[in-house]
Amino acid sequence: MKWYEMINEAGIEEIADKTGMKPKPKNTFQCPSCGAMTRGSSDGRGPVGATANRKGWLCHRCGATGSLLDFVSYHLTGSKYKELDRDQRRGVYEWAQSAGYSDGDAPRKPKHEVKDTLAALGRKKQSPSVSAPVQGSGGVFAWGSDKPQQYKETLWDTAGESVRDYLIRERKLSEEVIKEADLGAMRAQGMDWIVIPLKNTSGEIVNMRFRSIPPEGQKKSYRVCPSRPMPLYGSDRLAKTFDDMVILCEGELDVLAMKTLGYDANVVSTTTGASSFAEEWLDQLEPFRSFWLFYDNDQAGNDGAKKVAEKLGKYRCMRVKLPVHNDVGEVLQSGADPILVDEAFNNAKSYVDSELKSVLDYADELERLIAQPDTMRGRSTGSMRLDACCGGVTAGLWVITGDTGQGKTSWATWMCWEMARLGTPIMLTSFEQSPIGTVQKLLRNQLGGDFTKYTPDERRAAIIELDNLPIRILDHYGNADVDTVIESVRYSSRRHGTKIALIDHLHFLIKPSGDERNEIETVVRKLATLAVQDQITIFLICHPNNMAAAQQRRVKITDLKGASAIRQDAHVAVVVERGVPSPKRGYPHSVIYFDKVRSEFGQAGSKCVMAYDPLSCVYADRWEDTPAGMQGVKVISAPE
């Protein structure tokens, strides 16, 4: 086995230990790229999550991802292995030999020399015509608190002339902007590098980004100081009030181009590329009212802007595009009229604006849907019977009803727990009972029985398992303002990727005074609009009137107050009814009716019977699949 195969087969725990990336609880780790220890200021979980086979990873803070070889490479150099030059790859190889991943092709170094290899990584043979590279951990890209000033001084002396000419004559940045940004120059690895200091919100330089000026025909490279913070570029100049809009660009030089053109305030950019946006940056931007997304006019820019808009809220984001040029830096470089940038802002489009299209415009989207049928059928519920009725869980408003005591809340909560186990992010509300009541139901689901019968250690282990599921609970009890709830759902969707939100129940969103029917119609319409615009699923629990009981029949969707609006706006209407044990079906069960289904893969008017374990509040297609059934619990059939 080759040395790099040994690394990729080792498992992330072993590699994290050997690179010194501190492990965190819940099987997460410190990031080898950005050095973060947590996912965000409000999320204390470790930033790095591992794949199920423990051989792949993703940083939820900076977006870095890859194999275990990439994990080592990021730690040593700040870049993926495939992006390294020959000397850097040699350094990674030497680290691997020192760490014990030897394939016999080279002499193995003793373990104590691992740190020496790390310190030497990136060094190149000194040329008399270039300045000496900075030594230390990370090689030429190492951090040092005095280095930003050294690089800045280099930019303005003879050694930095080529970088200075590139910034001023080619990029057309003003000297005032260059000096204010504390830009510097460095020469290493046979290339000139622009050194861009990265400042935190207090204006303190905490990292440096190195951007190469490669020979013609070669791709530019980017590096940062390993294991250092990665702040949002320009965050030190964000306004203290939040009424102004924020302009987001794709790169640091774009920010400086904007400043050269007179856009001085509230202009920021990522420091990890268009495809990632750290949780910490979202914390800083969240309070601002709205955003202009001035990303590059290419596919990567479009995808990156869309991803950021989903995190910040599409309803408050505008996409800015230049009609001819790729970005604002290109406008400045080409000498084009700066009014083009003003016009781009004037022509910016909202992500939620209506747009008329022809049928042909949807041809590509249709082919994508056919190629990915799961997106048409919806997410599986985990139950074959439910999937056959509803066609899977799709975005839209699901109205769930049933008589008191029939289990509509238990069924909806179990659905959310089951979907979370399948990897779908969930948000729960519990206005009728305190949130701890919802936690108790989840704990029954997780333990498979009455949680009071388990030991404290067993309950604690189950709670930790639940905490590892993508579930968020809105900590609110009692009446709630519907607009506030919608904002909470949107926040959860942006920040936690929520795809399903359970609202329990409708009447806690209705104002006590006024016309109740009109109130219901208003709330239902707002929730349906939210579901469609934000492409999420809303489970809305509603109580029926007493008509079904008076007529001795099952509840129907027509038994809800404001039923006409609900029938019109709901995408799926579900009625939950407890079944009576019989000789044919001698176990607790519920009948799930689908009075309305919009999915082409579901069946309106269909129903299915699900076994129900009352101790665990778990539903299943068969009794044998419930926790009680799996434990061999016998059920007694009702007499004939």
DSSP string, 577-588: EEPPP-SSS-S-
Residue ranges, comma separated, of all CATH 3.40.1360.10 domains in the chain are 235-350
| Res 401: pLDDT | 95
Answer whether CATH 3.40.1360.10 is correct for domain 235-350. Answer: yes
Give CA–CA dist 191/129, Å, rounded: 12
Which CATH architecture describes the domain 376-628? 3-Layer(aba) Sandwich (3.40)
Which H or E element spans position 301?
helix 299-312
| Res 228: pLDDT | 84
Residue ranges, comma separated, of all CATH 3.40.50.300 domains in the chain are 376-628
**Cis amide prior to 505 (ω within 30 degrees):** yes
Which H or E element spans position 88?
helix 86-98
- Sheet of 48-50: strand order equals 23-24, 28-29, 48-50, 56-59, 65-67
| Res 114: pLDDT | 36
- Judge whether 66 and 56 are in contact, CB under 8 Å: yes
Give CA–CA dist 35/115, Å, rounded: 18
| Res 35: pLDDT | 74
Backbone conformation region of residue 217, classed left if phi is above 0, alpha if psi is from -120 to 50, else beta: left
Give CA–CA dist 10/130, Å, rounded: 40
CATH homologous superfamily, domain 140-224:
DNA primase, catalytic core, N-terminal domain (3.90.980.10)
Which are the contacts of 43, defined by CB distance < 8 A and separation ≥ 6? 279
Residue ranges, comma separated, of all CATH 3.90.980.10 domains in the chain are 140-224
Q: Strand, coil or helix: what is 308? A: helix
Six token digits for residue 411: 């069924």
Backbone conformation region of residue 497, classed left if phi is above 0, alpha if psi is from -120 to 50, else beta: left
Q: Which residues pair with 65 in a beta bridge?
A: 58
Give CA–CA dist 574/439, Å, rounded: 23
Q: What is the pLDDT of residues 53-75, one digit of tens each?
A: 888 888 887 778 889 999 988 88
Residue with the two structure tokens 């869309």: 306
- Sheet of 589-597: strand order equals 471-473, 426-428, 500-504, 537-541, 396-401, 572-578, 589-597, 606-613, 618-620
Residues of the chain scoring pLDDT < 70 = 22, 24-27, 40-44, 103-139, 271-276, 353-357, 369, 372-376, 513-514, 562-563, 636-640
Query: Nearest to residue 160, comparing CAs of 122, 134, 131?
Result: 131
| Res 389: pLDDT | 95
| Res 393: pLDDT | 94
For the residues of 521-576, what is the DSSP string, one character each?
A: HHHHHHHHHHHHHHT-EEEEE--B-SHHHHHTS---GGGBTTHHHHHHH-SEEEEE
Pairing of strands 618-620, 606-613: antiparallel
Six token digits for residue 469: 């599921």
| Res 360: pLDDT | 78
Q: Is the dihedral of CA 162, 165, 167, 169 positive or negative?
A: negative
Give CA–CA dist 611/627, Å, rounded: 11
Give CA–CA dist 612/580, Å, rounded: 11
Phi and psi at residue 259, in whole multiples of 5°? -65, -40
Give CA–CA dist 520/566, Å, rounded: 9
3-state helix, strand and coil shares in percent for the chain, rounded to the nearest 5? 40, 20, 40
Half-sphere exposure of 374 (CA within 13 A, CB side): 3
pTM here is 0.59
- Judge whether 584 and 410 are in contact, CB under 8 Å: no
How is residue 233 annotated by DSSP?
A: B
**For helices 86-98 and 68-77, angle between their N-to-C axes, nearest 10 degrees:** 110
Give CA–CA dist 423/404, Å, rounded: 31
